[in-house]
Structure 1
Amino acid sequence: MSVAEILYEQYKVLPENIQKELKALINGKDESVSVSIKALKGAVKEVKKLKEGKTQGRPISELFMELENEN
Structure 2
Amino acid sequence: MNMTTAQIIYEQYKVLPKRVRNELKQLILSEETEGTQSSLMDELEESLKQVKEMREGKRPKKSLNSLFNG
TM superposition score category, shorter chain reference: 0.5 to 0.7
Q: Of residues 45, 49, 68 in structure 2, which corresponds to 1:64? A: 68
The answer to which structure, 1 or 2, has the higher relative contact order (CA under 8 A, 6+ apart) is: 2
* CA RMSD after TM alignment: 3.2
Identity across the alignment (%)? 38
Aligned length: 65
Gaps of 5+ in 1: 67-71
> Could you tell me which residue of structure 2 aligns to residue 26 of structure 1?
28
**Runs of 5+ unmatched residues, structure 2:** none
2:56 aligned with 1:52: yes
Given the two structures, how large is their TM-score scaled by the length of structure 1? Answer: 0.54
TM normalised by structure 2 equals 0.55
Q: Do the aligned partners of 1:3 and 1:44 also contact (CA within 8 Å) in 2?
A: no
